[in-house]
Amino acid sequence: MYHSTQNVRSRLFLNICNDCYLEYEKWLKENKAVDFEDMINELARLLKEVKEMKQKLDFKYIIVDEYQDISKQRFDLTKALSEVTDAKIIAVGDDWQSIYAFSGSDIALFTKFAEKIGYAKVLKIVKTYRNSQEVIDIAGNFIQKNTQQISKRLISPKRIEDPVIIYTYDDKAKKPNSNRRSGANYALA
């Protein structure tokens, strides 16, 4: 792995973590233990064997919750399951809430689901009770500046006045500004 990258940060990380990783793997082997990632890898390997033997597992549905945070490894497991069953894959998630890229999540596995699995019917849940319409509109306009996100318009029955209030400070003022929503600082903000 070290020689497969020229990225300085990646090489530094590999130098620092290599001994820890080797000790961890040694401990797992000595204790006949397996970690979560290895369980996923092992199951994917076993499913490939099932596929090679042309066997089918009897599942009707496979439901993957929080799908927006799926990693390549977990996607491969889901795909392997789909290949050895006649099950419908039901992936539930919200691409606007994807937050685990730092741990391997790949939002393209969500936004390009039909392309990667082979077929999909997208059902959008657009009604929310979590936030007010005004906050949703502000956040949605920001999120949808990223063209990789799925376009949608969320609707909320909640309302709020002044969902975002900008306070400014003018150190040149001799007395507090009674109307904080005016002036050059407010316009600049």
Q: What end-to-end distance do the CA atoms of the chain give, in Å? A: 47
Domains of the chain from N-terminus onward = 1-33 (no CATH), 34-112 (3.40.50.300), 124-189 (no CATH)
What are 64-102's pLDDT values in tens digits?
999 999 999 999 999 999 999 999 999 999 988 888 888
What are the φ and ψ backbone dihedral angles of 83, each rounded to 5 degrees? -80, -15
Instruction: With cut-offs at 50, 70 and 90, classify the pLDDT of residue 185.
Output: low
Crossing angle, helix 72-83 and helix 36-52, to 10 degrees?
30
What are 19-42's pLDDT values in tens digits?
898 999 999 999 999 999 999 999
Report the sign of the C-alpha dihedral through residues 71, 73, 74, 75, in that order: positive
CB 85 within 8 A of CB 50: no
Q: What value, to the nearest 5°, has the Cα angle with vertex 42 and ends 41 and 45?
A: 90
Structure-block tokens of residue 140? 């949605």
The answer, yes or no, to whether residue 46 has pLDDT greater than 70, is yes
The pTM for the full model equals 0.69
